[in-house]
Amino acid sequence: MIQYVGVNDHQVDLFEGQYIVKNGMSYNSYILMDEKIAILDTVDIHFSKEWLDNVKKALDGRNPDYLVVLHMEPDHSASIRYLLEEFPNLTIVGNVKTFQMIQQFFPGMTIKNSLTVKEGDQLKLGNHVLQFVFAPMVHWPEVMMAYDLTTKSLFSADAFGKFGALDVQEDWKEEARRYYIGIVGKYGLPVQNLFKKVAGLEISAIYPLHGPILKDNLGYYLNLYNTWSSYQPEEEGVCIAYASIYGNTKQGVEELIKALGNTKVEVFDLARCDSSQAISKAFQYSKLVVASLTYNNGVFPPVEAFLHGLVERGYQNRIVGVMENGSWAPSAAKYIKQYFADSKNITLLDETVTIKSSLDENSKNQIHLLAEKLKSL
């Protein structure tokens, strides 16, 4: 029997110190109850007591035999010490890199019993048999997953997770994409390698360390992860990311939106929006337009932060248009394009829009040429 013993966090405002999580986070932990009992992962340090209470209630007087550590990031490992204080004889299960990190995070902590596993090793609990699938750099080097041969369940560490606590109802895809692009997005190749490993597994349920357990329509979630990790757009459309001080660049964006007509468009004012949401949406759509005023002979800082976050996460396979504004020496477009210099399969459109202070007939014509190009591709 698999039991959930995780917790919801509504205290956190910024996950990992940067991602706004208005609906909190879940830190998931599971117990496999069998002839032998295995706990899979712990939780964030701020919820150790609540989690231990959940664990003891599920154990109903029994002692656990194993703690399986799939991921050593502190939001999943910080309560290891407290579990060992409660159950000093249990066996910690991890790989070589897991135990290296345990010593780093818990210097001097005594582990009486440990079991170091390798790729493909199995842990027999009775009816349940866990087989270990290593997933290095999804998104830390020690990450591994556990596949229960009996129930066909995949305990997927941080993969297939999402922002948001479990006691809040919200659409899975939007917050899962934002979570994936922000947390795992740079590591598309390791995720693709993981897909190859698990291709032959029959999976009936996915148990992530954040977000809901996935049981129905698994093909939907797997297909999205394949799309995200191969850096392909989910759908045709244009993401427009801009910043404007006095409203003139914004007017240029509004003119572009009108010129795009029925094209699906989502627009983000980078000085005011959640940057991680803008980056997530840029990955969702097939085309991107970046519009910035020239600032100190460069790009306006919120736009620069957006561009850095975008290319750092491997942005590729997209069409990109550029709009700049400048009163005496427009140069933002040059620097925007430089950000994509090392990106793979980025088509930078020749139809660059240059606004000099405010819109005029010339810049409006440029905007309409850009819109026609975007609609034709």
The one-letter amino acid code at 24 reads G
- Cα dihedral value 80, 187, 341, 275, nearest 10: -60
What confidence tens digit (pLDDT) does each residue in 313-370 have? Answer: 999 999 999 999 999 999 999 999 999 999 999 999 999 999 999 999 999 999 999 9
In the chain, what percentage of residues exceed pLDDT 70? 100
Q: Backbone phi, then psi, for 275, in 5-degree steps?
A: -60, -35
What confidence tens digit (pLDDT) does each residue in 283-297 have? Answer: 999 999 999 999 999
What confidence tens digit (pLDDT) does each residue in 5-16 have? Answer: 999 999 999 999
Q: How far apart are CA 71 and CA 127, in angstroms?
A: 24
Contact 266, 240 (CB under 8 A): yes
pLDDT tops 90 at residue 75: yes
Contact 284, 374 (CB under 8 A): no
Residues sharing a CB contact under 8 Å with residue 328, sequence separation 6 or more, in sequence order: none
DSSP per-residue letters across 280-331: HHHHHEEEEEEEEEEETTEE-HHHHHHHHHHHHTT--SEEEEEEEE-SS---
pLDDT tops 90 at residue 200: no
Q: How far apart are CA 313 and CA 277, in angstroms?
A: 14
pLDDT tops 90 at residue 49: yes
What confidence tens digit (pLDDT) does each residue in 155-173 have? Answer: 999 999 999 999 999 999 9
Tokens of 20: 């706004």
Vertex 73: Cα angle to 145 and 66 (nearest 5): 55
Contact 239, 279 (CB under 8 A): no
3-class SS of residue 20: strand
- What does the pLDDT read at residue 199? 85
Average of per-residue pLDDT across 70-88: 97
In the chain, what percentage of residues exceed pLDDT 90? 98
pTM: 0.94
Could you give the domains of the chain?
2-229 (3.60.15.10), 235-376 (3.40.50.360)
Tokens of 1: 């029997």
3-class SS of residue 352: coil
The answer, yes or no, to whether the previous bond of 139 is cis (omega within 30 of 0) is yes
Place of tokens 């006095």: 246
> What's the mean pLDDT when you consider all of the chain?
96
- What does the pLDDT read at residue 214? 97
